[in-house]
A and B are shown apart, each in its own frame.
Chain A
Amino acid sequence: MTNKTPVLEIKNLCAGVASQEIIQNLSLTIYEGQVHAIMGPNGAGKSTLSHVLTGKPGYEISKGEVLFKGQDLAKLKIEDRANEGLFLIMQYPVEIAGVSFMTFLKHAINKKRAYQGLAPLSAPAFIKLVHEEADKLNISDDMLKRAVNVGFSGGEKKRMETLQMALLKPSLAILDEADSGLDIDALKVVSKGINDLNDGKRALLIITHHQDLLDYIEPDFVHVFANGHIIKTGDKTLAYELEAKGYTDFIKEASCKSC
């Protein structure tokens, strides 16, 4: 495994917004086929990490380096990161009035195909593909016709994010609280969607507050994330330990690594 290029390599990363450094000396390496889970208290910087990685405007890297499939991520445009295979299920998916999900998905799929040098999908092929994946996630035709995320419930939004992920088949998917707002049945459906994707050729970075999701998607590593970096790494049992004890003890023990 170690002689392969990692999918993601974060080295001593310091990053944040103009007013504040949020990610502090973070290092993390993820290889193909691995599932990493990040758990941490509110405000620890987990979503910030996802924003820095996907290139959200306003989030800057001040120190360190991030390599995505060996390329300097900072040099890639947002859309190129996506087309290279980086995908984020957002904690708060954005509502876009006036653009139907179908149109949006068509743009996204065809841009990725163009990036890979493929011709756009024909209309029937596109519709067939979307419906196949949508069915697996219990997404109705009506939902696909509606404007992107507008008026969708929290759980529905997460299902639509999962659909996009299933269609775009990323090499690294970051799931920022993909499980929040999901009812028990939806959690199963979404987890299944994620597991289907996880064919050994991809990597997952799962940000979650609950060990429930990790019962469905077996993580290789669990990281405790606080104050902008990883303070402890373990296997799945760490998630149970956290669930039982809370974060306080872990944070007390941790050394300070500010930038």
Chain B
Amino acid sequence: MQELLKNIVWLEDDNPVLFAWHQKGRAAFKEFPTKKTEAYKYTPVSEVLTPEMLNVKSHVKDDHCDHGAHHLPFDAYEFCFCDGHLHRHFHAGDDIEVLPIDEAVKTNEIGAYFAKIDLAQYPFAALNTAFLKEGLFIRIHKTPQKPIVFLYHNKNRGFKNIRNVIVADKGVKAEWIEMFEGKDEAYFLNIVNEIFVLNEAKLTHHKLQHEGEEAVHIALSDAHVKEGGQYQSYAFEKGGKLVRNETHVMLNQENASARVNAAYHLLRKCHIDTTTNIEHLSENTRSDQLVRGVIDDKGHGVFQGKIHIAPDAQKTEGYQIHKALLLSDEAKVDVKPELEIFADDVKCSHGATSGDLNQDEIFYLESRGIDETSARQVLVNAFLQAAFDDVENPDIKKLYPSD
């Protein structure tokens, strides 16, 4: 692990603003978390990282990137990252303002909406700050005509560090989709999203992760929700060697709400960690979490879900449920729910179940002529799709597993 640290070639940008952020991040980054780090005990990232995966230099240039691979079945604002590099020739409409993050941090506008994360608590956000360079700042002024889509194509080895800031202005309703794809190369993708949902705004954040077998993918979405704002997050994770998808939501003001749903499907030796921390910091806030995992082969699923209710946050509701299907003897799941409740007038619950597919259901399908493999597939999809049942946009819903 010391080896890893020694191998890092730190960024030292000429620009004083970036330079200052790099220094700040570097100072906050102490070490890669190991088994002994409580928040990472089920997902010891340092064990899968190699010095080569931390090499920033292996980024390819813009023009070498084939970004036509993905064809969305609907119209969208598309932004593309190739091996962590932002394509800087993008089109935006007048409803959204878009700047590359390294330019945005030099402006005043981003001020209130950047670097609001406690770097001591989130080591990978510290590392992310130390390598601040690629990413997007998007401010959504008006309800956009179409969804905003970020496509991340990963073809080569090395370190891909991305920082995005998304601000949904007052009253705006927007959909933001992140799609990750990758070849079977050993790379380390470290992405941090800072999300601000202002008064009465609604941001629906979708994530579809389908990367190669060797990918290490660490993601943090840090969302702040103001009065009456709604942050909805849906994620479907399939692929990668080790994935951590962490969501931190702060319901800062009254009537703020969050929906954090996720589903993962693990094959081979895939390890996927879904970690959530929903902080209810004000009265009349509400959160709902529904996470479903299907674990096959030697897959390892992790769910750590925390609901924190501050002393002032009376009349809040927080619900959480994790359900796993373990389809092989070597499949494994670790579940750690945590409720921290400091107010008394609250409704709060959590639940976790794990089991196998129901034999009677398989038989019923087979008895109607559906072969066992297809029957199992039908039931697995039916199980996973529950996490996406209430996705409102039918075009987007089609991107997720369905029956």
Contacts and interface: CB of A to CB of B under 8 A. Distances in A.
A98 B383 contact: yes
A241 to B, nearest CB: 34
Given A57-B363, A99-B403, A168 B368 contact: yes
A164 B371 CA distance: 17
Interface residues of B, number: 23
Given A57-B363, A94-B360, A100 B403 contact: yes
Interface in A124-171: 148, 164, 168
A174 to B, nearest CB: 10
A99 B384 CA distance: 11
Nearest to B368: A108
Given A78-B367, A96-B382, A57 B403 contact: no
B174 to A, nearest CB: 29
Given A94-B364, A98-B382, 9 more contacts: A55-B367, A82-B366, A93-B364, A96-B382, A98-B379, A98-B383, A107-B368, A108-B369, A168-B369
Contact of B367 (A82, A96, A115, A148): A82
Contact of B361 (A77, A83, A94, A103): A94
A136 to B, nearest CB: 20
Closest 6 CB pairs of A and B: A98-B382, A82-B369, A94-B364, A78-B366, A108-B368, A111-B369
A88 interface: yes
Contacts of A98: 379, 381-383, 385-386, 403
A103 B359 contact: no
Contact of B371 (A79, A94, A96, A168): A79
Given A57-B363, A94-B363, A103-B403, A108 B370 contact: yes
A93 B381 CA distance: 21
Nearest to A86: B367
A79 B403 contact: no
A256 B266 CA distance: 55
Contact-residue bracket for chain A: 20 to 34
Interface in A87-114: 88, 90, 93-94, 96-100, 103-104, 107-108, 111-112
Interface in B340-393: 358-361, 363-372, 374, 378-379, 381-383, 385-386
A54, A57, A78, A100 — which one has the most chain B CB atoms within 10 A of its CB?
A78
A81 B369 CA distance: 8
A148 B363 CA distance: 14
B368 A164 contact: yes
Contacts of A112: 369
Given A98-B385, A107-B374, A57 B367 contact: no
B372 A79 contact: yes
Contacts of A168: 368-369
A97 B372 contact: no
A96 B368 contact: no
B380 to A, nearest CB: 10
A103 B381 CA distance: 12
Nearest to A100: B403
Contacts of B359: 57
Interface string A55-99: 111000000000000000000011101110000101001101111
Interface in A177-222: none
Contacts of B371: 77, 79, 111
Contact of A99 (B366, B369, B372, B382): B382
Contacts of B383: 98
8 contacts: A55-B366, A79-B367, A79-B370, A82-B369, A94-B358, A94-B360, A108-B370, A111-B374
Given A78-B366, A108-B368, A168-B368, A96 B361 contact: yes
A83 B403 contact: no
Nearest to B381: A98
Contacts of B378: 99, 103-104, 107
A56 B363 CA distance: 6
Nearest to B369: A82
B370 A111 contact: yes
B365, B368, B403 — which one has the most chain A CB atoms within 10 A of its CB?
B368
Contacts of A56: 363, 367
Interface string B270-285: 0000000000000000
Given A99-B382, A107-B374, A79 B360 contact: no
A108 B378 CA distance: 12
A9 to B, nearest CB: 21
A104 B367 contact: no
Contacts of B372: 77-79
Contacts of B367: 54-56, 78-79, 81-82, 88, 90
Interface string A211-254: 00000000000000000000000000000000000000000000
Contacts of A88: 367
A107 B386 CA distance: 20
A78 B359 CA distance: 13
